[in-house]
């Protein structure tokens, strides 16, 4: 392994690009590999074994591409599969977690709202977070079916997206939440609309910058940071039709990018048998 080996990042779809952009900001010299499992998005309503099998197959692919570290840029995959991934792979793995701790420290009203997928909200990892902070603050949880699909379709501000956000956010405000956690990596792409609907007095918390700093610390601790003077590159793969995913990745990444089809990991049935 050399310091210029790439970092592998994945999500159920394009949401993890909100993490990738923070990694790019924090670590300009790193080469980044990104897998969008768009052929299986959303993960939020899929079974645990399927999400775990997909996560294993994608990490295997990223390791085969010589990744020196992995970022699970998906709260749902983290909630379901992180223990298995860490037990199975020796490469350092950094993972998402809804930012309940910073929200608990920030709130003045004592009420925080967590927007996430139902998969994340029913996970053991989230139960542990709830147990840790739920005594100090009132944690309102809100599953948001449909929002991931809106981001996957590149619809960040249309009528349907707005109506869904109103449906999910207004009840939190009515219960005096003054801090809202974006507990799914797709939601930062909706942050301006969420802020507009919630009002400027409500804080919106995205854990992605903290994840990027954590990645820097992990790489520094094993002396695997690449030289900052390099210009890092990005490469993208998808398990859906590359032409379709290319459009939305290019929209969200704000650059016209090339997107390749993900090889050899498209058969969930085969992975589930392993």
Residues tagged active-site: 74, 184
Question: Interacting stretch for ligand DGL, rule CB under 6 A, among 7-15, 61-69, 168-176, 256-264?
Answer: 7-15
Binding to ligand DGL (CB under 6 A) within 171-200 occurs at: 184-186
Binding to ligand DGL (CB under 6 A) within 15-34 occurs at: 15
Please give the backbone phi and psi of residue 3, each rounded to the nearest 5 degrees, phi first: -65, -20
Question: Least distance in Å: CB of 185 to ligand DGL?
Answer: 4
Binding to ligand DGL (CB under 6 A) within 135-154 occurs at: 148
C-alpha span between 63 and 156 (Å, rounded): 33
Q: Can you tell me which of 38, 55, 75, 150 binds ligand DGL, judged by CB under 6 A?
A: 75
Question: Least distance in Å: CB of 222 to ligand DGL?
Answer: 26
C-alpha span between 61 and 58 (Å, rounded): 5
Question: Is 182 strand, coil or helix?
Answer: strand
C-alpha span between 121 and 137 (Å, rounded): 17
Cβ proximity to ligand DGL, 120 vs 271, nearer residue? 120
Listed in sequence order, the residues at least 6 apart from 261 whose beta carbon sits closer than 8 Å to its beta carbon are: 237, 238, 239, 242
Give the pairing of strands 7-11 and 69-72. Answer: parallel
Residue 208 near ligand DGL by CB under 6 A: no
Question: Least distance in Å: CB of 73 to ligand DGL?
Answer: 7
- Token couple for 84: 């298995």
Q: Can you tell me which of 10, 11, 97, 242 binds ligand DGL, judged by CB under 6 A?
A: 11
Question: Interacting stretch for ligand DGL, rule CB under 6 A, among 8-16, 27-35, 208-216, 265-273?
Answer: 8-16
Length of the chain: 274
Binding to ligand DGL (CB under 6 A) within 96-115 occurs at: none
Query: What is the DSSP annotation of 19-37?
Result: HHHHHHHH-TT--EEEEE-
Question: Least distance in Å: CB of 179 to ligand DGL?
Answer: 19
Q: Among candidates 19, 10, 20, which has minimal Cα distance to 232?
A: 20
- Residues in the site for ligand DGL, rule: CB under 6 A? 11-13, 15, 41-44, 74-76, 117, 120, 148, 184-186
């Amino acid at each position: 392994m050399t310091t210029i080996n790439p970092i592998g990042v994945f999500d159920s779809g394009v949401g993890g690009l909100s993490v990738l952009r923070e990694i790019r900001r924090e670590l300009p010299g790193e080469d980044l590999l990104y897998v969008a499992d768009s052929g299986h998005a959303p993960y939020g309503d899929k079974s645990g074994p399927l999400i775990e099998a997909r996560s294993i197959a994608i990490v295997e692919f990223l390791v085969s591409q010589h990744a020196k570290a992995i970022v699970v840029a998906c709260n749902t995959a983290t909630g379901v599969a992180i223990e298995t991934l860490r037990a199975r792979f020796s490469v350092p793995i950094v993972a998402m977690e809804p930012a309940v701790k910073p929200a608990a420290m920030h709130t003045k009203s004592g009420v925080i709202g967590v927007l996430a997928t139902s998969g994340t909200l029913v996970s053991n990892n989230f139960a542990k977070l709830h147990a840790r902070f739920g005594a100090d603050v009132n944690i309102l949880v809100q599953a948001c079916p449909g929002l991931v699909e809106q981001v996957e379709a590149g619809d960040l501000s249309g009528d349907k997206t707005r109506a869904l956000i109103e449906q999910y956010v207004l009840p939190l405000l009515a219960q005096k939440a003054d801090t809202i956690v974006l507990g799914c990596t797709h939601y930062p792409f909706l942050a301006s609309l969420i802020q507009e609907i919630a009002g400027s007095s409500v804080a919106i918390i995205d854990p992605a910058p903290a994840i990027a700093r954590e990645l820097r610390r992990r790489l520094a601790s094993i002396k695997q940071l690449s030289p900052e003077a390099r210009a890092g590159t990005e490469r993208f793969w998808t398990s859906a039709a590359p032409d379709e995913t290319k459009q939305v990745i290019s929209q969200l990444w704000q650059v016209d990018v090339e997107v390749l089809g993900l090889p050899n990991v498209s058969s969930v049935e085969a992975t589930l048998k392993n």
